[in-house]
């Protein structure tokens, strides 16, 4: 037995056909537009931003909530398993129902076909033997009687259709015979072709339609074969079995499986939520306690219940917190003892130091009466006492910073006056070293809310260090104002800093070369105090340098107190550094190294101004806004020919063979 098929042919409705090569060019171009980011076309970017905005909270919650991820993953996997099992079960039930229906239909149709053959082959008496033509069977009514007789045994279970063969389909009196108002056009043409060409029984699934829409179309199974009527002419006999009951049974099975599957998925989700909650709750508690420990609440502990792995984790966490608290308390006590020791020693040394100072002054004034060796000793004694007093004052200042007792007396001041006082005090040292001090950017007021005493101390350290380690070359002091920040940079052209020294130059008592003699009596605490003064203002003190190319120290302060800094008006790396000079020479554009921050307005480069000191030579170019803060890091300006996404190079360096402790 072979099954019919009514699969659609290529080109018929519902079948996708080939598309010309030129079609679909618009959508592909639009996809490439979205993929490439649509430079110059803001509409795709706005659409993507509009789509991403409502998804950001969900994505943030998904990343931060492990319980949500586990439960959602469990639900998705459970749903997949339930759907897979549902498809398998429904497929098995459907196949079983159709096989049973097919077997019953074949048995019923075989009996009907046998009856039709017997009726067609039954002997018939000669016409007119009984004196009339009523006993003779008419072929026109024979098929109608046959269909009615065969359909009478299966009211509502099946219908019977008798059709003329292809060669006799247009003959007179050979109209289709049906039962149950079945439309003969429901028989698929493919099945009719198979039946007309063969001698066996053929079957296929189809949709049963009725005359004048007497009933809704319903799926069914049709079986047909080719027979001969009482006149020996071929005709086609079909049995149509509706599958409505099987469809109802399959719908019931689907609904049952869907309800059971949904219940199972929800149950598994609830179970996963409860199980994960037992694990996640202690972890969240530990995370909260760790955050409070990081905030300084060292007495926080986890609540431990039971003896399982979570309880062991809680006990270990509590022991760790207890040990950390003990160690921190020990360190705090040691730090307090050290600060108290430094403060007590500094204060206790003041009285004997005052006495020694008075005696040394007397000896120093009478040194002309001594022999040369004793007179020189008196001079050395006075110099070392000066240095000892300076060291003692720095230790007292450091102890105030460590104890948190340093107070800021901020008021609006013009930093140009502070710079002039610092340069005036450094002029004698600069004359002895053969250096000149130049100032850039003092044409306009440089006003900021700051403590004049502390800013002057910072600048004094920077200028004196630059003069001392400048190898007799010029020292440039640059001032600039931009946005909410003011900056003062001190540039020298001496020995410079080695790589890695810019972050250690502000350490206490640090010296690049401990064997180098101090010519100006530095204590090694000057830059440490200077960086603390800058932090007290909410500002930055940063260093840059290159071996043999000098160094630059930059002080950046907010114009108003408590205003956060977002940039500095002066780049940390000067424009006349070797790297910037080589880059400008390679690009052929002297302005190519003017890398600027968009957050800091560009300030025009001013001409050099003169202080009451003698100046010589030419000066570097003026102010150019640049880099963000960092411990000794600097932003390297990029030339116009470089890629815009090139990484920012950071170089840290310190002075070579010098100490920046003062």
- Average pLDDT score over residue span 442-468: 89
C-alpha 636/C-alpha 620 separation (Å) is 17
Q: 38 pLDDT exceeds 70?
A: no
C-alpha 537/C-alpha 409 separation (Å) is 10
pLDDT at 139: 63
Instruction: Name the DSSP class of 635.
Output: P
Whole-prediction pTM:
0.46
C-alpha 94/C-alpha 96 separation (Å) is 5
Domains 60-121+140-295 and 409-584 in one fold = no
Strands 608-609 and 177-178: unpaired
pLDDT at 603: 33
pLDDT at 10: 35
How does 405-426 read in b/e, with b if 16+ C-beta sit within 10 Å?
A: ebeeebeebebbebbbebbeeb
Q: 659 pLDDT exceeds 70?
A: no
Contacts of 353 (CB under 8 A, 6+ apart): 385, 388, 389, 392
C-alpha 178/C-alpha 186 separation (Å) is 11
pLDDT at 310: 81
Phi–psi pair at 623, nearest 5 degrees: -75, 145
C-alpha 169/C-alpha 165 separation (Å) is 6
- Average pLDDT score over residue span 403-422: 84
Listed by start position, the domains of the chain span 60-121+140-295, 301-406, 409-584
Instruction: Name the DSSP class of 642.
Output: S
Q: What would the two tokens of residue 540 be? A: 């930055």
Q: What is the widest separation between alpha-carbon atoms in the chain?
A: 185
Q: What is the pLDDT of residues 181-191, one digit of tens each?
A: 888 888 898 88
pLDDT at 522: 58
Helix, strand or coil for residue 636?
A: coil
pLDDT at 553: 92
Of the candidates 521, 415, 547, which has an alpha carbon nearest to the alpha carbon of residue 477?
415
- Contact of 547 with 656, CB cutoff 8 Å: yes
Q: Is domain 301-406 annotated with CATH 3.40.1620?
A: no
- Contact of 639 with 589, CB cutoff 8 Å: yes
Contacts of 569 (CB under 8 A, 6+ apart): 480, 481, 482, 483, 485, 486, 487, 556, 600, 603, 623, 625
- Contact of 318 with 301, CB cutoff 8 Å: yes
Average pLDDT, the chain: 74
pLDDT at 511: 67
C-alpha 209/C-alpha 575 separation (Å) is 91
Q: What would the two tokens of residue 586 be? A: 């390679």
Distances (CA, A) of 549 to 124, 343, 471, 545, 658: 130, 40, 11, 7, 14
Q: What is the pLDDT of residues 148-159, one digit of tens each?
A: 888 887 777 888
pLDDT at 29: 41
- Average pLDDT score over residue span 573-592: 74
C-alpha 454/C-alpha 537 separation (Å) is 9
The dotted CATH code for 60-121+140-295 is: 3.30.450.20
C-alpha 215/C-alpha 207 separation (Å) is 12
Q: What is the pLDDT of residues 298-332, one digit of tens each?
A: 888 888 888 888 888 888 888 988 898 888 888 88
Q: What is the pLDDT of residues 513-560, one digit of tens each?
A: 555 545 444 567 778 888 888 888 889 899 988 888 888 999 999 988
Share above pLDDT 90 across residues of the chain, in percent, rounded to a whole number: 10
If DSSP states are collapsed to H, E and C, what string results for 454-504?
A: HHHHHHHHHHHHHHHCCCCCCEEEEEEEECCEEEEEEEECCCCCCECCCCC
Q: What would the two tokens of residue 503 be? A: 């972050």
Stronger pLDDT, 164 or 41, i.e. the higher one: 164
pLDDT at 77: 92
- Contact of 186 with 196, CB cutoff 8 Å: no
Share above pLDDT 70 across residues of the chain, in percent, rounded to a whole number: 75
pLDDT at 88: 93
Contacts of 580 (CB under 8 A, 6+ apart): 573, 574, 593, 636, 637
The dotted CATH code for 409-584 is: 3.30.565.10
- Average pLDDT score over residue span 376-403: 76
Of the candidates 246, 230, 198, 211, which has an alpha carbon nearest to the alpha carbon of residue 101?
246
């Amino acid at each position: 037995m072979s099954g019919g098929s009514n699969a659609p042919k290529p080109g018929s409705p519902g079948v996708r056909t080939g598309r010309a090569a030129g079609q679909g060019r618009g959508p592909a171009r639009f996809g490439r537009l979205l993929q490439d980011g649509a430079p110059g076309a803001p509409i795709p970017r706005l659409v993507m931003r509009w789509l991403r905005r409502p998804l950001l909270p969900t994505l943030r919650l998904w990343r931060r909530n492990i319980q949500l991820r586990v439960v959602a993953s469990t639900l998705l996997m459970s749903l997949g398993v339930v759907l897979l099992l549902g498809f398998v079960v429904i497929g098995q039930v459907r196949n079983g129902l159709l096989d049973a229906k097919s077997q019953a239909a074949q048995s019923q149709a075989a009996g009907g076909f046998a009856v039709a053959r017997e009726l067609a082959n039954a002997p018939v008496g000669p016409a007119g033997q009984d004196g009339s033509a009523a006993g003779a069977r008419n072929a026109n009514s024979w098929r109608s009687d046959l269909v009615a007789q065969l359909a009478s045994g299966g009211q509502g279970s099946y219908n019977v259709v008798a059709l003329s063969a292809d060669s006799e389909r247009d003959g007179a009196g050979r109209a289709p015979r049906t039962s149950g108002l079945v439309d003969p056009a429901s028989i698929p043409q493919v099945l009719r072709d198979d039946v007309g060409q063969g001698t066996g029984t053929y079957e296929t699934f189809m949709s049963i339609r009725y005359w004048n829409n007497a009933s809704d179309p319903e799926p069914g199974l049709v079986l047909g074969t080719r027979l001969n009527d009482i006149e020996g002419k071929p005709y086609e006999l079909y049995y149509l079995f509706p599958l409505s009951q099987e469809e109802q049974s399959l719908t019931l099975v689907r609904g049952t499986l869907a309800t059971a599957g949904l219940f199972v998925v929800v149950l598994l989700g609830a179970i996963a939520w409860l199980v994960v909650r037992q694990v996640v709750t202690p972890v969240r508690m530990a995370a909260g306690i760790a955050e409070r420990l990081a905030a300084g609440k060292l007495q926080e502990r986890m609540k431990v219940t039971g003896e399982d792995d979570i309880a062991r984790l809680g006990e270990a966490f509590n022991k760790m917190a207890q040990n950390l608290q003990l160690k921190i308390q020990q360190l705090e006590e040691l730090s307090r003892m050290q600060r108290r020791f430094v403060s007590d020693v500094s204060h206790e040394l003041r009285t004997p130091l005052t006495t020694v100072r008075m005696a040394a002054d007397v000896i120093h004034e009478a040194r002309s009466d001594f022999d040369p060796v004793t007179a020189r000793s008196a001079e050395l004694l006075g110099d070392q006492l000066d240095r000892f007093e300076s060291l003692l004052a720095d230790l007292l200042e450091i102890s105030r910073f460590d104890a948190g007792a340093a107070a800021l007396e901020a008021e609006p001041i013009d930093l140009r006056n502070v710079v002039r006082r610092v340069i005036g005090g450094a002029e004698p040292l600069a004359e002895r070293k053969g250096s000149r001090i130049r100032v850039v950017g003092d044409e306009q007021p440089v006003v900021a809310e700051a403590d004049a005493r502390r800013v002057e101390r910072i600048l004094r350290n920077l200028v004196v260090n630059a003069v001392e380690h400048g190898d007799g070359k010029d020292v440039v002091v640059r001032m600039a104002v931009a946005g909410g920040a003011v900056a003062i940079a001190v540039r020298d052209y001496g020995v410079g800093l080695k790589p890695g020294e810019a972050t250690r130059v502000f350490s206490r008592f640090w010296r690049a070369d401990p064997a180098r003699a101090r010519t100006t009596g530095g204590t090694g605490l000057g830059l440490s105090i200077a960086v603390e003064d800058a932090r007290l203002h909410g500002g930055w003190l940063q260093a840059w340098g290159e071996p043999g190319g000098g160094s630059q120290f930059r002080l950046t302060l907010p114009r108003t107190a408590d205003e956060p800094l977002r940039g500095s008006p002066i780049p940390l790396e000067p424009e006349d550094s070797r790297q910037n000079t080589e880059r400008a020479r390679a690009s052929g554009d002297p302005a190519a190294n003017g890398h600027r921050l968009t957050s800091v307005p560009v300030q025009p480069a001013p001409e050099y101004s003169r202080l009451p000191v003698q100046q010589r030579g030419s000066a570097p170019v003026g102010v150019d806004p640049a880099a963000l803060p960092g411990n000794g890091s600097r932003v390297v300006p990029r030339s116009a020919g470089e890629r815009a996404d090139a990484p920012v190079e950071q170089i840290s360096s310190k002075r070579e063979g010098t100490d920046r402790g003062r």
